[in-house]
Amino acid sequence: MPRPRKHLLSPFPGAAHYHCISRVVDRNFVFGAKEREVFRKILRQVEAFSGVRVVTWTMLSNHFHVLLRVPPRPGTLPSDEEILDRCRALYAPGGMQAVEVEFEDAARMGETALARVRAKYLKRMWDLSEFMKTLKQKFTSWFNRQRARAGTLWESRFASVLVEGSHRCLLKVAAYIDLNPVRAGLAQDPKDYRWCGYAEAVSGDRAARAGLVLALEDERPGTTWRELGRRYREVLFGIQGDNDSGAGSSVPSPGEVARAISSGKKLTLVELLRCRVRYFSAGLAIGTESFIEAFFSSRRQNFGARRQSGARRLKGGGWGRLRCARDLAVEPLSPCGID
């Protein structure tokens, strides 16, 4: 299937959700504690500027994952002062001064010039590609200054998978992202790994909590962090079981997961989330069967003529109603380590 231009679009109106991944060129391990902390700060700055919401995220030593909610462009656009307020969240004082001067000069020149400047900044809001471009460029500029280096930092544009915006889908993808440091052997519990959305939320960060609450809002509107935190740990660790998978309360070791895969056993959700899951990085779109079929119909021209349907079952076990849009030639599940 040809690679679609730009990012994938949701087949339904309203906000679209994307799991995005970007890796360092040559996949070198270059991000330490300082780099991860600066990335966290920039991520929240870009979120405040763009109107794109971060559901959750994690950064490791050579790549990052982020689950984003991209709302549609609003019918009533921000005023000039509101645009400037958004810019203040993104730019340092020197850069912000230049933005203010740009608006002042344009205002003196007339409405046509002001509209042109206004459009320049509005173009970067409520858009996945612009969000990722701003995030990566801003971090690269800081990183290159720190290392006295020049040139690209990231190996490619970025990978993205469209995710259906229901709690059944978002919770699983969010948990997979937050469990990255656990799979990498950096923590036993993601709350102990500072550079992920769940750890931020547990520490009391309002933006992080608000992001994860988005993952449950269609199931229980007005969900509080206290309610969500308990539900989310059920997905992360199988506490009290998960409605879709029946996972138990004991967390399997990497060796147990590897042996279960080699024996052909159907894995529980908690076991599946301890694996590297290519569906979440290369599945094209993730969601229920109806969502994937609608996505397939909306992008029929991007699939081969022999393809008759869109939804593909996820292999391995307790995925519940989750489906993806791509048949994967390479094994979709792999254990992360053997004890």
pLDDT averaged over 10-residue windows placed end to end, the chain, 339 residues: 59 92 93 97 98 97 97 96 97 96 97 97 97 97 95 91 93 96 93 96 94 79 79 82 43 82 88 93 95 94 88 91 90 74
pLDDT value for 66: 98
In terms of Cβ atoms closer than 10 Å to its own Cβ (0-12, 13-18, 19+), residue 249 is: exposed
Asked if residue 137 lies in contact with residue 147, where contact means CB atoms within 8 angstroms, the answer is no
pLDDT value for 218: 65
In terms of Cβ atoms closer than 10 Å to its own Cβ (0-12, 13-18, 19+), residue 14 is: exposed
Can you tell me the distance from the alpha carbon of 285 to that of 239, in angstroms, rounded to the nearest whole number? 28
Nearest to 69 by CA among 79, 86, 56, 83: 56
pLDDT value for 220: 67
Can you tell me the distance from the alpha carbon of 200 to that of 40, in angstroms, rounded to the nearest whole number? 10
pLDDT value for 219: 64
CA angle 4, 52, 154 (to 5 degrees): 55
At 157-186, the pLDDT tens digits run 899 999 999 988 999 999 999 999 999 999
Instruction: Give 175-208 as a DSSP string.
Output: HHHHTHHHHTTS-SSGGG-SSBHHHHHHTT-HHH
